[in-house]
Amino acid sequence: VINRLEGAVLVVLYALYLVEQVLSNTMPLGDEDPFRLVVLVVVLPAVLVFIAWTTLSWQRSRRA
Domain ranges in the chain are 4-63
**What is the pTM (predicted TM-score) of this model?**
0.48
C-alpha dihedral (44, 48, 50, 55), degrees to nearest 10: 160
Question: What's the pLDDT tens digit per position in 7-59?
Answer: 888 888 888 788 777 777 776 656 556 776 777 778 778 888 888 888 888 88
Contact 64, 10 (CB under 8 A): no
Instruction: Please tell me the predicted confidence (pLDDT) of residue 29.
Output: 59
Instruction: Please tell me the predicted confidence (pLDDT) of residue 30.
Output: 60
DSSP 8-state assignment for residue 39: I
